[in-house]
Amino acid sequence: MAKLILGITGEMGSGKGTIAKHASLEHKASTRRFSTILRDLLDRVYVEQTRENISTISTILRKNFSEDILAKAMYHDTENDTHKIVIVDGVRRLADIAYLRELPHFKLVYIEASMENRYERIVKRAENTDDAAKTFEQFKKDHELETELQIRDLKNYSNYVVNNDGTYADLYDQVNKIIAENIA
């Protein structure tokens, strides 16, 4: 059976991690995150994991090595993964999907949710050190970071669009249908 690779994209707080966790628990999927590479680098050099620092290290890598440097790493990690379903969380750029689409059975899933819902999720989960105290104005400003600029346009290149303004059950139903449609 062919391996299904779901690239998950969407603006911050849209539910990418929630989909990855669901697919892992319910479908025994492997999950990989673009940001893990960046977080590992920041930890290694003892730099705080703020959204701005993650964006900065991403920009440095891409400007000094290649626009698709992280996509190449993700491509190889995913290609070597032995799971039947692999979730690639955090696709952010056209260069990412151009490289990842070379993988057989790659599908891009765009998650959309209202800005208000996304803001509440970001503050509540406090994944980055600066998230818990973030104001709505700061959250809106975060969308201007270089790493966030191409995400909205990726909807135009997606195979599926998932709405995450409803319940967990609504979200999981949409994801389960995508997986069922692509797993023979």
- Give the angle subtended at the CA of 128 by the CAs of 123 and 130, to the nearest 5°: 70
Predicted pLDDT of residue 132: 80
Pair 97, 34: CB distance under 8 Å: no
Residue carrying the six token digits 């966030």: 148
Pair 174, 180: CB distance under 8 Å: no
In this structure, the chain runs to a length of 184
User: What's the CA gap between 101 and 133, in Å, rounded?
Assistant: 38
Query: Which domains are present in the chain?
Result: 13-182 (3.40.50.300)
Structure tokens at 159: 């195979």
CA 148 to chain centroid = 11
Q: Are strands 106-112 and 4-10 parallel, antiparallel or unpaired?
A: parallel
Predicted pLDDT of residue 145: 72
Predicted pLDDT of residue 39: 93
Instruction: Label residue 125 by pLDDT band (50, 70, 90).
Output: confident
Pair 160, 17: CB distance under 8 Å: no
Q: What are the pLDDT digits (tens) for 56-89?
A: 999 999 999 998 999 999 999 999 999 999 999 9
Instruction: Label residue 1 by pLDDT band (50, 70, 90).
Output: low
Instruction: Beginning with the edge strand found earlier in the chain, give each strand of the sheet holding 4-10 in spatial order.
Output: 30-33, 85-89, 4-10, 106-112, 160-163
